[in-house]
């Protein structure tokens, strides 16, 4: 059954959600305060880089997918998603000011709704914030009572950048935090019916606080797994052990699993750093010391420094050209939030190096933050005349580099992602192998 859906916020999560729900057969309105984003969406153009998203927008824009700067669609919607970012403060806690403002706008629009509407918190929030912060705002702005005239649920997203469309369309799980609201569960059943039927995705029905915690637990667990394999990889490096052979073996143990065992320069992005910091801040607020999570973050912060240290063992970069290959926090995206290239660039600049950088998608974004770096249009151009090279992002095109290294003054490569193959005449250092 087709539902009328409004998606408030058209960032990475909201845009992907809106397009995928339209593909599932629902009638979707994307709401954003940015007129340029709204114009792009209505033209069938994506405001973000995400594989598989452009064809969906082209197919549904102007039909079952529309965009607006107003909340006019909310009163007629069966379901309204809140997909507003919750950025981190300096102490790691999340700022829900923008989310509260969006909830207030939705609440005012709900005042005109004649039927039950389900408001779904897709944004990442600490357990309890939905009940203590957002529901009162919705009630005050709408003049209605939650649980009677409208419902509120928590439905966290588990979409990785670079594979967000595939992650949504073939989910590992769907988590529904409703506190037992049967009307909410009925709407969710209609909303995700085809996903559950096609992929037999496990559906977890739980409370709102539990659903909020699942999101944090998911990301923090994965961050810890990456930091653990990086710590093991660092030890392997000291004993001349190939950590990837070790990872392949332990990944065969079903208790461990093979995913997230590629050791290297560490994790970044919008979720792992923010969510780990947020749950640590929440723990401290509850007078609990998150010792293990502090170590998880510590290992991650250490990896770029180790990478620079390996370069120092082979060349003095002061006054010399050094190439940084890869600026996005992972391949398949142009997002530089939490990118490990940032501490690498900063470390090179502290050493007095002349930094030249290349990324297939993220040059422009990084240039806005690091204007003193030279950005070029190809890896070959970055390598030309370089005294050393650091590989930070695992773009496939870097694996195809071969004779381009001949243009380097000093053929030294420190590989943080196991992308470059060892070869004769190349001084090659793997970060953890």
Catalytic residues: 271
Give the CA radius of gyration of the chain: 23
Q: Which helix (H) or strand (E) covers residue 403, if one does?
A: none
- Burial-class residue 296 by CB neighbours within 10 Å (0-12, 13-18, 19+): buried
Tally of CA atoms within 13 A in the half-sphere of 72 that contains its CB: 5
CB contact at 8 A, 147 and 183: no
**Helix axis angle, 97-110 to 135-142, nearest 10°:** 40
Backbone angles phi, psi at 427, to 5 degrees: -80, 105
Place of tokens 């003054």: 409
The two three-digit tokens of residue 238, written as one number = 């000291």
Report DSSP state, residue 59.
Answer: H
Alpha-carbon distance of 366 to 345, in angstroms, equals 10
Phi and psi based region of residue 3 (left: phi greater than 0; alpha: psi -120 to 50; beta: remaining): beta
Q: Which residues of 118-152 are buried (b: 16+ CB within 10 A; e: fewer)?
A: bbbbbbbbbbebbbeebbebbbebbebebeebbbb
């Amino acid at each position: 059954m087709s539902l009328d859906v409004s998606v408030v916020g058209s960032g990475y999560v909201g845009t992907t959600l809106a397009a995928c729900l339209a593909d599932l057969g629902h009638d979707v309105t994307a709401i954003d305060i940015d007129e340029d984003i709204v114009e792009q969406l209505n033209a069938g153009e994506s405001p973000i880089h995400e594989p598989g998203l452009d064809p969906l927008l082209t197919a549904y824009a102007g039909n079952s997918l529309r965009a607006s700067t107003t909340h006019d669609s909310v009163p007629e919607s069966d379901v309204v998603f809140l997909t507003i970012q919750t950025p981190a403060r300096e102490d790691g806690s999340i700022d829900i000011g923008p989310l509260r403002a969006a909830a207030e706008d939705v609440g005012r629009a709900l005042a005109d709704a004649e039927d039950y509407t389900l408001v779904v918190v897709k944004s990442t929030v600490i357990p309890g914030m939905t009940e203590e912060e957002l529901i009162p705002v919705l009630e005050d702005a709408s003049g209605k009572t939650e649980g009677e005239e409208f419902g509120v649920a928590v439905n966290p997203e588990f979409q990785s950048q670079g594979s967000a469309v595939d992650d949504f369309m073939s989910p590992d799980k769907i988590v529904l935090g409703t506190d037992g609201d049967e009307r909410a569960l009925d709407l969710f059943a209609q909303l995700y019916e085809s996903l559950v039927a096609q992929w037999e995705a496990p559906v977890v029905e739980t409370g709102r606080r539990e659903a909020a915690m699942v999101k944090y637990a998911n990301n923090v667990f994965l961050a810890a797994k990456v930091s653990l394999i990086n710590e093991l990889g660092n030890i392997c490096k000291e004993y001349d052990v190939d950590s990837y052979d070790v990872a392949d073996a332990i990944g065969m143990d079903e208790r461990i699993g093979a995913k997230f065992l590629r050791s290297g320069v560490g994790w970044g992005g919008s979720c792992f750093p923010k969510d780990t910091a947020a749950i640590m801040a929440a723990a401290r607020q509850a007078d609990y010391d998150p010792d293990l999570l502090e170590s998880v973050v510590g290992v991650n912060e250490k990896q770029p420094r180790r990478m620079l240290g390996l370069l120092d063992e082979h060349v003095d970069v002061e006054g010399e050209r050094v190439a940084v290959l890869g600026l996005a926090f992972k391949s398949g995206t142009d997002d530089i939030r939490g990118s490990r290239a940032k501490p690498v660039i900063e470390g090179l600049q502290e050493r007095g190096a002349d930094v030249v950088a290349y990324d297939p998608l993220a040059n422009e974004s990084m240039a806005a933050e690091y204007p003193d770096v030279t950005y070029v249009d190809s890896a070959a151009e970055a390598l030309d005349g370089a005294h050393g090279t650091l590989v930070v992002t695992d773009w496939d095109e870097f694996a195809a580099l071969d004779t381009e290294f001949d243009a380097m003054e000093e053929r030294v490569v420190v590989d943080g992602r196991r992308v470059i193959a060892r070869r004769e005449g190349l001084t090659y250092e793997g970060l953890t192998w």
